[in-house]
Chain A
Amino acid sequence: MSDQVNEPHWKRDFPIQRTEATKVSRRDFARFLCLVSGGLATGSAYVAVKANFFPPEEIKGEHFVCKAAGVPLGGTRSFVIEGSSIPYILIHLEDGSWRAYEQKCTHLSCAVYYKPGSGQIVCPCHEGFFDAMTGEVLAGPPPRPLPALEVVMRGEDVYVKAGNEGIAKNTGRM
C-alpha cells in the first residue's frame, strides 16, 4: 500500500488539524474491520479442520449403568462412561421405556434434567425444552437435539452403547 507516513506515530494519533483526525480514525476503523474479517476466516478454518480431521471419538462397546430396579418409573440417574468426562442422564419414562442422553444442553452446555410426568427434558438456564422420547428440541434456544445413547436391557441390568442416529436426527440449524 502506498501510504508512507513520515510523521511520528503520536502526530498521527493526535494530529493538529481536525480533518486529519477524522480521516485517520476511519482508515483505522476500516483496517480493524479487515482484521476482524481475518479472525473470522481463521475461526472458520479451525472449525473446518476440527470437523474433518479430528472428529469426536465414538463410544465403543456396551457400558453397564445400573440395575433396572434402581430407577423407578419417571426416575432418572446420571452417569459417566469410564474414559470420558461427558455426563449422561438415564431416564426411565412413565411408559416404561428407557432413554439415555448427554446431559449437556446443546445451547450453552448447562445440565439438563427430566421433568417427571411431562415427557420433557428441561434446561433451566434459558428455558430450553427437549422431547424425552427423541431428544428433539421442543422450545427455547437450543439449536440441536440432545445427543442420544442407545439403552440395552440385559435381564436386570441396564447397559448403554453408541446411539443409533435414527433416534434423533442431528441436523444443525442454519
Chain B
Amino acid sequence: MSNFKDAQNKAHPNKTNTLMSALIVILILNVSIQIWLLYTGLNNALGKNKDVALPAFIASLVLFLIGFFWLYFLPMGYREKKNK
C-alpha cells in the first residue's frame, strides 16, 4: 500500500526540514500550554477552588492527543532502498 509517506520520504531535504521544524514548534507550544494548565489547575485546587481542575485536565488531554496524532506526520527522512 502506498500513502503520502512514500512521497514525503523522497521529498527534498529542505522540505522535510521545514515540516519537521513546524511539527516540533507545534509540539512545544502544546507542552507550554499544558504546563500552564497544570499550574493553574493545581493552584486553584489547593485554593479550595476545585472547579478548574477538570476542564484543565480535559484541555490537557486534548492537547496530548493532538500531539500524539501529530507524530504520524513526522517525516522519516531519506532512507536508501533495501533490496530484499
- Chain A interface category by residue count: 35 or more
- Nearest to A2 among chain B residues (CB) is B5
Which residues in B have their C-beta under 8 angstroms from that of A165? 48
B14 to chain A, nearest CB (A): 12
CA distance A14 to B75 in the complex (A): 19
A24 contact from B3, B31, B63, B77, Cβ within 8 A: B77
Which residues in A have their C-beta under 8 angstroms from that of B57? 41, 44-45, 47-48
Interface hit among A28-36, A64-72, A84-92: A28-36
- Tell whether A40 pairs with B27 under 8 Å between CB atoms, given A31-B71, A47-B53: no
**Chain A-chain B contacts (Cβ-Cβ < 8 Å), number:** 130
CA distance A36 to B57 in the complex (A): 15
CA distance A74 to B50 in the complex (A): 36
- Tell whether A44 pairs with B71 under 8 Å between CB atoms, given A33-B27, A172-B52: no
B37 to chain A, nearest CB (A): 6
B82 to chain A, nearest CB (A): 7
Which residues in A have their C-beta under 8 angstroms from that of B24? 26, 29-30, 33
B59 to chain A, nearest CB (A): 8
10 residue pairs bridging A and B, Cβ less than 8 Å apart:
A20-B77, A23-B20, A23-B77, A30-B27, A33-B24, A40-B64, A44-B34, A47-B38, A51-B50, A172-B45
Q: Give chain B's interface residues, CB within 8 Å of chain A.
A: 3, 5, 13, 16, 20, 23-24, 27-28, 30-31, 34-35, 37-38, 40-50, 52-54, 56-57, 60-61, 63-64, 67-68, 70-72, 74-79, 82
Q: Give chain A's interface residues, CB within 8 Å of chain B.
A: 1-3, 6, 19-20, 23-24, 26-27, 29-31, 33-34, 36-38, 40-41, 43-45, 47-48, 50-52, 55, 106, 143-144, 165, 170-174
